[in-house]
Structure formats: structure tokens, C-alpha cells
Amino acid sequence: MSIKIYTTGGTIDKIHTGKQSTYEVGAPQIVEILQNSNVILDYEIESIIKKDSLDFTNEDRELIYMKVKSDISNNILITHGTDTMIKTAKILKNITKKTIVFTGSMYPAKYQRYEAVLNIGCAITASQILDPGVYIAMNGRIFDPHNSRKNVNLNRFEEINK
């Protein structure tokens, strides 16, 4: 089994710019995280967007949709900013026969690795064992994008009633 990983920026990939309290999206942190985690499965990483998800356009989401739909892999992991992850995940709902798992981090992985490593590990596992569909792997859980939300006050994802 091989997993295709698309990176799209977001907080997980943010780095300090040197300017006072400013961050920008840098290189995909999942590359180093997977290398340092001794992952032994086949995967390919492609960086397609380097933005904060609050800056995503309809064209950005269309690009993600087209990349995933046309990819030969049936196991897809997407790193994405947490603010609009659910919105993008819902757009991919009609892609069939693929297991698509979104993940990200509330904190830049470069400076606070624990959350990013946990979320990526959960997403890697989920992409291998879940039935085809679209999922979100955050905070040690797997969420249905149609039944979840980001709780900004608690800084975590949570399930909501339909």
C-alpha cells in the first residue's frame, strides 16, 4: 500500500519570519516528521499550496479536488490549515473509492512537535484502515467532516450533533 500526501500549508507548516510575532507558511513539516518517525510504508509527498487556509480561494479548493480525484492512489492524506479544513473536506465528499484523511495542527510543528506528530500518526493509520470516504484526524480522534467543528475556545476539534 502506498499513501499519497498532499501538503497545503496551514499552521502545521508555519515558521517564524524574524519579524516581530509574524509567521508564514514554510516547507512541509511532514517530510521531517515522517523521516524521524521511522515510517516504513511507501508514501509520496507533493506540496500543492502553501497558504494559511483562511486565505484559500475556490480555485485552491478546486485544485485540491482535482489532484485527489485524478490521483492513482486510493489512500490520500492532506495536511491543511485547521480553520477551513472542514470546508475543504466537505468539497471532496463525492470522490468515491478513496480514503481521504485531512490533518493539521493548532501549533506550528517546527516549534511544538507533539500535536503535529500525533495528528500525522493518526492520519497515516486512518488512511490505511478506514473504508473509503473523507475524514479528519485531529486531537487523537477521527471525525466525520459533516458532524464536527473546530472549537476555537478550546483549541480542538469536536463532534457535533447532525
Q: Walk me through the domains of the chain, giving residue ranges and CATH numbers.
A: 7-15+23-157 (3.40.50.1170)
- CA nearest to 79, candidates 139, 157, 6: 6
Return d(Cα 133, Cα 143) in angstroms, integer: 11
Can you give the pTM of this predicted structure? 0.93
- How close are the terminal C-alpha atoms of the chain, in Å? 34
Residue 16: strand, helix, or coil: strand
Return d(Cα 140, Cα 122) in angstroms, integer: 7
Range 19-39 average pLDDT: 83
Burial class (CB in 10 A: 0-12, 13-18, 19+), 121: middle
Task: Please determine, for residue 19, whether its predicted confidence score (pLDDT) is greater than 70.
Answer: no
Instruction: Please name the residues in contact with 114: beta carbons below 8 A apart, sequence gap of 6 or more.
Output: none
Return the pLDDT at 89: 98
pLDDT band at 20 (very low <50, low <70, confident <90, very high): low
151 against 20, higher pLDDT: 151
